[in-house]
């Protein structure tokens, strides 16, 4: 059995490119093995900022020979009247590279056919790899590519070398003038960026380790974590956990050395996130906390340099951190000289979106929307005032020095909270300013304060409705304004808060505000309604509601999302009940009969025949009252049970009554009766959209 090693050497790749590229290489290799039916042992892919590599063990010399049976045209077509091969027969043989002597007649249940059986020799694995390597390089997904020297060669960063070994032998390969060899390169930051001769596949990782390159990213990550734990083994300090930062740092270094740095303690007077943002987001360092969870003036960085020079490296990193914190301290102290409200006037100079006006205009809309929500929720005057105050101040921090200088833009909302507290604003208002951006992503929390929740819904509604309203509907994966995330946030917050709010009334109100100053496109209303309906359906599916139940309840007129969710859960729970299945089939039968009718005659009770038809009419009157009472109390379990009980009356009606009778007047009256049945059911859900297996529906 044989081993294979492939390493693609480059200039340092962006950290977000490395793992997707590595996954692409490994998936491509495994697909090639599967396609050519090749058995193998362990396959391992590894990476550093400068290399993507793959190692495979237990590979055969070549593919296994295969016995191939190919069936061609029928004998009547393959031969002419004289018994000679016809053009069809000759074409079949030519395609396979076979001769007349290789043929035989295959007898099967469909007749007699010309056939060829032959042994297909397995291809050399080495030859397959020589084709696979350039193919897989070209298929690596890269968000951005560079072109240099040879215009046909494009990659994220310049490719410097290709290492390719079959056991201990070099694989002959030329990729745009880059010849494969047995050479790799060491850690350039330690002065070891010299050619390293890789004798064979088995010695690859150890050879690079001696050149201070930990090529296995999994091992490198473990080393980083262990080193950070050991730094404060005899101290009460602890390195803050940050899995995303750990992955990022791991993709930035080849030989890790964890080093402790510090900054002057007076910077701890700054709000904590200013410091942690400077350390983690700007510098890619780890924050350090004391035993009480309070931020300390220490930090940990992972050096890619010579451990013997850690003191000098530490000094340089500390200077950078100190300079950034000095800037932050100056921004913060200058901003705090004025109240947060004093910055609101500056929003008139910041464009929110060219067609939607400035942030000042947006703030005015947010105040009105927040007031509308507060009044619909019948909040107390104090709660309404806090919501309005939050809406007024929520964007003010965007024109402070801290954010205006573009140094700490990711702290929007957080700085607003800090400045609000410094200005003596109500604590809920301050918290609401911070929370109104929530949820920022799929894993983010929802606003915890009432003011934050109201302002978050108002802000997201205004953004989504405004952007779509001026004709910038998201298409495919293109969503530059993150409208899907914003709309999802709206429905999540409203559902979580169980607000008795009519989403569509709220949307209409927001549209009315925009129409005063903004020219909306003709299909704005329908596009916005459709967009939010998709987000509502998404929310129901997130709750585990079956897709057909989602469709069934989405066709009803619901008062609030809480109303809709209760309706969907009740229907989902009842879906597999046998009596409910019979009801669905009966309802679909009624709906199908009148499906092609656009207008109905006025129902005439005097034309109803005694028995099942009269019972259906009488039962419908009682059902209407019972369902109305259940819907009034949002008791959808009871409402559905009433419908299930009514199903027996529907079944008896279809057993005893011919709806499509010859008497046109009588038929029209029965259609009108079934339309009333359908309308009654639609108050709860459109049961025609419920999927029932093996259903047979007819007249």
Establish if 100 belongs to a structural domain. yes
Establish if 552 belongs to a structural domain. no
Q: What helix, strand, coil percent values describe the chain, rounded to 5?
A: 55, 15, 30
Task: Give dist(CA 388, CA 366) in Å, integer.
Answer: 8
Contact 111, 138 (CB under 8 A): no
Report the candidate in 185, 180, 178 with the shortest Cα–Cα distance to residue 170. Answer: 180
Q: What is the pLDDT of residue 426?
A: 96
Establish if 698 belongs to a structural domain. no
pTM passes above 0.75: yes
| Same structural domain, 159 and 33 | yes
CATH of the domain at 161: 3.30.70
Task: Give dist(CA 624, CA 315) in Å, integer.
Answer: 80
The continuous run of DSSP H or E covering 252 comes out as none
At residue 287, φ and ψ (nearest 5 deg) are -75, 155
Establish if 697 belongs to a structural domain. no
DSSP string covering 303-322 = E-S-GGGHHHHHHHHHHHHH
Task: Print the domain residue range for 371.
Answer: 340-542
Contact 687, 681 (CB under 8 A): yes
| Same structural domain, 251 and 284 | yes
Q: Where are the beta strands (DSSP E) in 341-485?
A: 351-353, 357-358
Q: What is the DSSP letter of 128?
A: H
| Same structural domain, 115 and 193 | no
66-74 β-sheet, strand order: 66-74, 111-120, 103-108
Task: Give dist(CA 260, CA 522) in Å, integer.
Answer: 60
Q: What is the pLDDT of residue 506?
A: 95
Residue 417 has a CB neighbour count (10 Å cut-off) of: 26
Count: domains in the chain: 5
| Same structural domain, 362 and 486 | yes
Q: What is the pLDDT of residue 693?
A: 66
Give the CB-side neighbour count of residue 658, counting CA atoms within 13 A.
Answer: 5
Establish if 302 belongs to a structural domain. yes
**Run means of pLDDT, 10 residues per run, the chain, 699 residues:** 93 93 95 86 94 93 75 81 81 78 78 78 85 92 82 86 93 91 89 87 93 94 94 87 93 94 95 92 91 93 86 92 94 95 95 94 97 96 96 96 84 96 96 96 91 97 95 84 94 94 94 92 92 94 92 84 90 85 84 84 87 90 90 87 89 88 88 89 87 58
| Same structural domain, 295 and 443 | no
- pLDDT tens readout for residues 608-652: 888 888 999 999 889 999 989 988 888 888 988 888 888 889 888
Establish if 611 belongs to a structural domain. yes
| Same structural domain, 362 and 454 | yes
Q: What is the pLDDT of residue 282?
A: 82
Structural tokens at position 73: 């045209």
The continuous run of DSSP H or E covering 148 comes out as strand 146-148
Task: Give dist(CA 153, CA 259) in Å, integer.
Answer: 39
Task: Give dist(CA 285, CA 317) in Å, integer.
Answer: 10
Task: Give dist(CA 174, CA 160) in Å, integer.
Answer: 13
Task: Give dist(CA 145, CA 140) in Å, integer.
Answer: 11
Report the candidate in 253, 261, 262 with the shortest Cα–Cα distance to residue 306. Answer: 253
| Same structural domain, 107 and 74 | yes
Establish if 699 belongs to a structural domain. no
Establish if 549 belongs to a structural domain. no
CATH of the domain at 625: 1.10.730.10
| Same structural domain, 361 and 438 | yes
Q: What is the pLDDT of residue 694?
A: 53
| Same structural domain, 469 and 528 | yes
């Amino acid at each position: 059995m044989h081993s294979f090693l492939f390493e693609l050497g480059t200039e340092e790749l962006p950290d977000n490119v490395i793992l997707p590229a590595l996954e692409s290489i490994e998936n491509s290799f495994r697909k090639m093995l599967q396609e050519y039916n090749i058995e193998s042992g362990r396959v391992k892919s590894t990476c550093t900022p400068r290399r993507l590599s793959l190692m495979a063990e237990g590979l055969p010399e070549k593919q296994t020979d295969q016995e191939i049976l190919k069936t061609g045209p029928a004998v009547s077509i393959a031969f002419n009247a004289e018994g000679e091969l016809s053009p069809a027969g000759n074409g079949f043989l030519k395609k396979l590279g076979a001769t007349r002597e290789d043929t035989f007649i295959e007898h099967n249940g469909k007749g007699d056919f010309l056939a060829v059986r032959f042994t297909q020799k397995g291809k050399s694995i080495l030859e397959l790899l020589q084709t696979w390597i350039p193919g897989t390089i070209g298929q690596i997904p890269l968000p951005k590519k560079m072109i240099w020297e040879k215009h046909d060669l494009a990659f994220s960063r310049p490719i410097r070398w290709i290492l390719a070994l079959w056991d201990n032998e070099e694989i002959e390969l030329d990729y745009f003038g880059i010849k494969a060899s047995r050479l790799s390169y060491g850690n350039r930051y330690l002065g070891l960026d010299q050619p390293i001769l890789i004798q064979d596949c088995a010695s690859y990782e150890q050879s690079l380790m001696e050149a201070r390159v930990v090529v296995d990213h999994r091992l490198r990550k473990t080393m980083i974590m262990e080193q950070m734990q050991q730094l404060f083994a005899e101290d009460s300090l602890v390195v803050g956990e940050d899995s995303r930062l750990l992955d990022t740092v791991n993709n930035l270094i080849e030989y890790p050395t964890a080093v402790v740095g510090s900054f002057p303690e007076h910077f701890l007077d700054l709000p904590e996130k200013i410091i942690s943002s400077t350390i983690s987001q700007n510098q890619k360092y780890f924050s350090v906390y004391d035993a009480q969870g309070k931020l300390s003036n220490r930090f940990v960085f992972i050096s890619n340099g010579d451990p013997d020079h850690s003191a000098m490296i530490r000094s340089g990193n500390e200077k950078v951190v100190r300079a950034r914190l000095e800037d932050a301290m100056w921004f913060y102290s200058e901003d705090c000289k004025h109240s947060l409200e004093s910055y609101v006037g500056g929003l008139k100079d910041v464009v929110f979106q060219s067609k939607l006006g400035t942030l000042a205009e947006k703030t005015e809309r947010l105040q009105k929307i927040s007031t509308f929500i507060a009044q619909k929720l019948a909040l107390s005057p104090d709660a309404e005032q806090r919501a309005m105050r939050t809406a007024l101040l929520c964007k003010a921090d965007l024109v402070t020095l801290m954010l205006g200088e573009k140094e700490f833009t990711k702290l929007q909302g957080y700085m607003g909270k800090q400045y609000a507290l410094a200005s003596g604003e109500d604590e809920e208002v301050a918290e609401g300013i911070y929370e109104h951006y929530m949820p920022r992503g799929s894993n983010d929390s929802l606003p915890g304060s009432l003011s934050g929740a109201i302002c978050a819904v108002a802000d997201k509604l205004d953004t989504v409705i405004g952007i779509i309203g001026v004709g910038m509907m998201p298409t495919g994966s293109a969503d530059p304004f993150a409208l899907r995330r914003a709309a999802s946030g709206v429905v999540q917050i409203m559902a979580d808060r169980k607000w008795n709010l009519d989403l569509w009334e709220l949307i209409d109100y927001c549209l009315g505000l925009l129409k005063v100053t903004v020219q909306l496109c003709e299909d704005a209303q329908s596009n916005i309604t459709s967009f939010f309906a998709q987000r509502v359906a998404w929310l129901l599916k997130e709750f585990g509601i079956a897709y057909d139940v989602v469709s069934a309840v989405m066709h009803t007129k619901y008062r609030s999302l809480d109303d809709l969710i209760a309706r969907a859960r009740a229907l989902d729970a009842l879906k597999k009940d046998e009596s409910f299945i019979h009801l669905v089939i009966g309802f679909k039968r009624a709906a199908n009969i009148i499906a092609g009718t656009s207008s109905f005659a006025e129902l005439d009770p005097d034309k109803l025949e005694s028995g099942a038809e009269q019972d259906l009419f009488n039962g419908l009157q009682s059902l209407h009252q019972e369902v109305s009472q259940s819907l009034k109390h949002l008791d959808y379990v009871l409402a559905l049970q009433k419908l299930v009980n009514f199903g027996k009356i529907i079944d008896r009606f279809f057993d005893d009554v011919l709806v499509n009778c010859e008497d046109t007047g009588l038929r029209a009256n029965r259609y009108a009766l079934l339309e009333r049945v359908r309308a009654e059911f639609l108050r709860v859900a459109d049961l025609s959209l419920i999927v029932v297996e093996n259903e047979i529906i007819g007249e």
